């Protein structure tokens, strides 16, 4: 059976750009009879807001998206909130320690900034210089709270064929370097949590923003190290403002909660998203997200960024 997921991070309000990605995940799943799971990714950020989980659930429902499992309705893969799944991340970490795939790293961001080599990809941190990498799993650990666990990236070409972006390849050791899979607090990083959860929940189709393509190589490396089967990926272009920069506060307030409060009908956003995904032409509109399931086709989606002037909504 195939399964997809909606994975909001409750670090703040969900906005128009998120809406488009969630709608795509929903249309793709419903069109192909894929189970859809809602998972709240509240573990890897100091920016988690207590109110944002409930708000994200309300935003998704308001858009007309529904799901088969989630924190609000339960299901066979519960719990659906990452902070309630810590045991699973610890077990995976233990497996990686035993396989000598990780090492405790006491370096600070500054240390790495100073000694690391220039990042290979835009927006990535410098490549880890290997300072702590000689540790072996029969050696003692540094003091609790002073280290994070870092994964030894594989020195081989990793490839995947993205549903939207086509063939992708990268050598994680050379182009990304060893990367952290926990914080110094011991909490798992996004990379570890997302792999453990997607594997445990049987996710076969991942639809998310194309800013995560580089992370996918780290995640594929973890999949192989943990012996899991990776899903299929569809990385969708991000939504940009008129200046072609990623949609953000400077482009105006595009929070879905604000749209709701101001009485904007969800069908306006659904229609905009559907037009931008090639599912409707400029004169067509719909009343609800579900009307587009039958029309959905990946090959109608353009690979280039989507530009919106929020004022036009
Ligand atoms: N939680 C992430 C976000 O909201 C998505 C991560 C993923 O889809 O893998 O940006």
pLDDT in tens, 237-281: 999 999 999 998 889 899 999 999 999 999 999 999 999 999 999
Reported confidence tier of residue 311, pLDDT bands at 50, 70, 90: confident
Query: For ligand 1, which residues put their CB under 6 angstroms from it?
Result: 7-9, 41, 194, 208, 212
pLDDT in tens, 9-35: 999 999 999 999 999 999 999 999 999
168 Cβ neighbours under 8 A, 6+ residues apart: 159, 160, 161, 162, 213, 216, 217
CB neighbour list of residue 215: distance below 8 Å, 6 or more residues apart: 190, 191
Give 230 Cα–ligand 1 centroid separation in angstroms: 16
CATH of domain 86-193: 3.90.800.10
Alpha carbon separation from 257 to 48, 73, 92, 208, 247 (Å, rounded): 17, 22, 36, 21, 16
Report how far residue 64's alpha carbon sits from residue 5's, in angstroms, rounded to the nearest whole number. Answer: 16
- Residue from 4, 9, 85 whose mutation best tests the ligand 1 pocket (most atoms within 8 A of CB): 9
Q: Which of 41, 83, 164, 231 to mutate to test the pocket of ligand 1 (most atoms within 8 A of CB)?
A: 41
Which pLDDT tens digit goes with each residue over 50-81?
999 999 999 999 999 999 999 999 999 999 99
**Ligand 1: distance of its center to the CA of 135 in Å?**
31
Report how far ligand 1's centroid is from the alpha carbon of 223 (Å): 17
- pLDDT over 90 (residue 285): yes
Q: Where are the domains positioned within the chain?
A: 3-82+237-312, 86-193
State pLDDT tens for residues 72-117: 999 999 999 999 999 999 999 999 999 999 999 999 999 999 998 9
List, as own/partner pairs, every contact residues 107-115 make where C-beta atoms lie below 8 angstroms and the sequence separation is at least 24, other chains included.
107/131, 107/132
CATH class of the 3-82+237-312 domain in this structure: alpha beta
**Does residue 46 have a pLDDT over 90?**
no
Cα(143) to centroid(ligand 1), Å? 32
């Amino acid at each position: 059976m195939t399964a997809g997921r909606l994975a909001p991070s409750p670090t703040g309000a969900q906005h128009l750009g998120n809406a488009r990605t969630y709608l795509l995940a929903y249309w793709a799943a419903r069109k192909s009879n894929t189970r859809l799971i809602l998972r709240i990714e509240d573990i890897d950020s100091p920016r988690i807001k207590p109110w944002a989980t409930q708000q994200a659930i309300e935003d998704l429902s308001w858009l007309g998206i529904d799901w088969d499992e989630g924190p609000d309705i339960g299901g066979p893969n519960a719990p659906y909130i990452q902070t309630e799944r810590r045991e699973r991340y610890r077990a995976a970490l233990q497996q990686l320690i035993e396989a000598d795939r990780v090492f405790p790293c006491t370096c600070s961001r500054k240390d790495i900034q100073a000694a690391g080599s220039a990042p290979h990809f835009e927006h990535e941190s410098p490549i880890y210089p290997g300072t702590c990498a000689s540790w072996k799993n029969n050696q003692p650990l540094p003091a609790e709270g002073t280290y994070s666990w870092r994964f030894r990236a594989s020195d081989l070409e990793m490839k995947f064929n993205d549903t939207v972006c086509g063939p992708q390849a990268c050598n994680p050791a050379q182009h990304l370097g060893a990367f952290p899979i926990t914080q110094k607090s011991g909490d798992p990083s996004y990379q570890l949590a997302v792999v453990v959860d997607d594997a445990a929940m049987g996710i076969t189709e991942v639809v998310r923003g194309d800013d995560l393509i580089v992370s996918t190589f780290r995640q594929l490396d973890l999949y192989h190290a943990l012996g899991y089967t990776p899903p299929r990926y569809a990385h969708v272009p991000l939504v940009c403002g008129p200046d072609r920069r990623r949609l953000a506060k400077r482009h105006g307030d595009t929070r879905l909660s604000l749209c709701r409060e101001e009485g904007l009908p969800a069908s306006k956003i659904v229609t905009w998203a559907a037009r931008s995904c090639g599912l409707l032409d400029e004169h067509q509109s719909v009343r609800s997200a579900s009307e587009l399931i039958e029309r959905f086709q990946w090959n109608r989606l353009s690979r280039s960024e989507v530009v919106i002037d929020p004022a036009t909504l």
